Amino acid sequence: MIRRLPHVDRVGVEERAAALGKRSIKTTAKQQGIRLAISMIDLTTLEGADTPGKVRHLCAKAVCPAPELPEIPSCAAICVYPSLAGVASEALRGTGVKTAAVSAGFPAGQVPLDVKLRDTEDAVSLGADEIDMVISREAFLAGDDARVQEEIVRVREACGDAHLKVILETSELGSYDHVRHASMLAMEAGADFIKTSTGKSSAGATPGVCLVMLEAIRDYAHRTGRQVGFKAAGGVSTSKAALHRLVLAKETLGDDWLTPDLLRIGASSVLNDLLMQYAKTQTGRYGRSEDFSKE
Partner 1 sequence: MSVRTKIVWEYAPAPESTDHVRLREDYGLFIGGEFRAPLDGRREPTINPATEEPIAQVAWAGEADLRAAVEAARGAQSAWAALPGRERGKYLFRIARLIQERARELAVVETMDGGKPLRESRDVDVPLAAAHFFHYAGWADKLSYGVGGRSVAPMGVVGQIVPWNFPLLMAAWKLAPALACGNTAILKPAETTPLTALLLAEIIQEAELPAGVVAIVPGDGATGAALVRSEGIDKFAFTGSTGVGRDIQAALAGKKIGLTLELGGKSANIVFEDAALDQAVEGIVNGIFFNQGHVCCAGSRLFIQESVADEVVTKLWDRMGRLRVGDPLDKNTDVGAINSAEQLERIEALVAAGEEEGAVRRSIACDVPERGYWFAPTLLTEVSPAHRVAVEEIFGPVVSVLTFRTQAEAIEKANNSRYGLAAGIWTDKGAKAFEVASALQAGVIWQNTYNHFDPTAAFGGYKESGFGREGGPAGLRPYLRVS
Query: Contact residues for partner 1 (CB under 8 A)?
Result: 4, 6-9, 11-13, 15-16, 22-30, 32-33, 35-36, 39, 63, 73-74, 94-96, 215, 218, 222, 246, 250-251, 255, 258-260
Question: Between residues 67 and 115, which has the closer beta carbon with respect to partner 1?
Answer: 67
Q: Angle at Cα 266 formed by Cα 232 and Cα 247, nearest 5°?
A: 40
Measure the CA–CA gap between 244 and 239, rounded to whole angstroms: 8
Closest by CA to 168, choosing from 109, 128, 113, is 109
Residues 6+ apart with CB under 8 A from 250: 257, 258
CA dihedral (4, 150, 263, 256) positive or negative = positive
- Confirm whether 116 is a catalytic residue: no
**Catalytic hit among 42, 119, 129, 132:** 132
Residue closer to partner 1 (CB basis): 92 or 117: 92
Name, in order, each residue with C-beta under 8 angstroms of 47's C-beta and a sequence gap of 6 or more.
Answer: none
We find the least distance from the C-beta atom of residue 148 to partner 1, in angstroms, to be 23
Is 132 one of the annotated active-site residues of the chain? yes
Nearest distance in Å: CB 60, partner 1 = 14
Pick the closer one to partner 1 by CB: 30 or 57: 30
User: Which residue, 104 or 246, has its beta carbon nearer to partner 1?
Assistant: 246
Q: Distance between terminal CA atoms of the chain?
A: 50
Q: How far is the CB of 33 from partner 1 (least distance, A)?
A: 6
Query: Residue 107: is the preceding peptide bond cis (ω within 30°)?
Result: yes
Active-site choice (98, 116, 165, 231): 231
Closest distance to partner 1 from the beta carbon of 288 (Å): 27
User: Is 54 labeled as catalytic in the residue annotation?
Assistant: no
The radius of gyration of the chain's CA atoms, rounded to the nearest angstrom, is 18
Q: Which is nearer to partner 1, 45 or 74 (CB)?
A: 74
Compute the least distance from the CB of residue 187 to partner 1, in Å.
16
Report the run of H or E that residue 98 belongs to, with start and end.
Answer: strand 98-103
Catalytic hit among 61, 98, 165, 195: 195
Which candidate, 112, 114, 151, places its Cα nearest to that of 133?
151
The catalytic residues are 132, 195, 231
